[in-house]
């Protein structure tokens, strides 16, 4: 069905990551590729002044280790990629740079604070140039 799938996994919801990776594997063409992606957000400058200089680098290293462990635990073959910046933009940029034909992104069940879907998922759906599968998460 799909030859290149970007699976965006938030480490705050890593327990959902295995389910999303399995869904990606079930949609993948033979010989296709899955990229497990986590985005570490930038720290605003006014906050960064008070934090250790290597905080973002440490967070990216930790993300790579945790995401790598998740992928290994599932037994699914997937590349692990860590990016930093605004999550929606980083996910879309990753999809474009990998020439992906599907993005899978999780979103919690909406409430009145964001009626339709989560803010990141909403931006990805609106701006991605490929198909997007939004996997609902219960709070």
66 contacts 12 by C-beta, under 8 angstroms: no
Helices (H), 32-130: 45-48, 55-74, 87-97, 119-127
Instruction: Look up residue 8 and give its two tokens.
Output: 């965006």
Work out the mean pLDDT of the chain and round it to a whole number: 87
59: phi then psi, degrees, rounded to nearest 5: -65, -40
SS3 9: coil
**Apex 118 CA angle, 132 and 129, nearest 5:** 25
- Sorted by where each starts, the structural domains of the chain and their CATH numbers stand as 2-137 (3.40.50.620)
Residue 118 backbone class (left: φ over 0; alpha: ψ -120 to 50; beta: rest): beta
CA dist 55 and 61 (Å) reads 10
Write down the pLDDT at residue 16: 85
pLDDT surpassing 60 at residue 26: yes
pTM of whole model > 0.85?
A: yes
- Phi first, then psi: what are they for 85, rounded to 5°? 130, -165
User: pLDDT tens, 49-107?
Assistant: 666 768 778 889 999 999 999 999 999 999 999 999 999 999 999 999 999 999 999 87
Q: Measure the CA–CA gap between 131 and 74, rounded to whole angstroms.
A: 24
Tokens coding 54: 């290597």
Percent pLDDT > 70 in the chain is: 82
Residue 36: helix, strand or coil by DSSP?
strand
Judged by DSSP in three states, 37 sits in strand
């Amino acid at each position: 069905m799909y030859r290149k799938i970007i699976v965006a996994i938030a480490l705050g919801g890593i327990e959902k990551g295995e389910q999303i990776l399995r869904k990606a594997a079930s949609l993948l063409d033979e010989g296709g590729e899955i990229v497990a992606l986590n985005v570490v957000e930038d720290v605003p400058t006014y906050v960064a002044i008070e934090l250790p200089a290597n905080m973002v680098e440490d967070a990216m290293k930790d993300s790579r280790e945790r995401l790598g462990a998740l992928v290994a635990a599932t037994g699914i073959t997937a590349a692990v990629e860590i990016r930093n910046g605004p999550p929606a933009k980083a996910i879309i940029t990753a999809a474009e740079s990998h020439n992906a034909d599907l993005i899978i992104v999780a979103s919690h069940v909406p409430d009145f604070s964001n009626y339709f879907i989560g803010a990141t998922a909403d931006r990805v759906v609106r701006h991605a140039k490929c198909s997007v599968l939004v996997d609902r998460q219960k709070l």
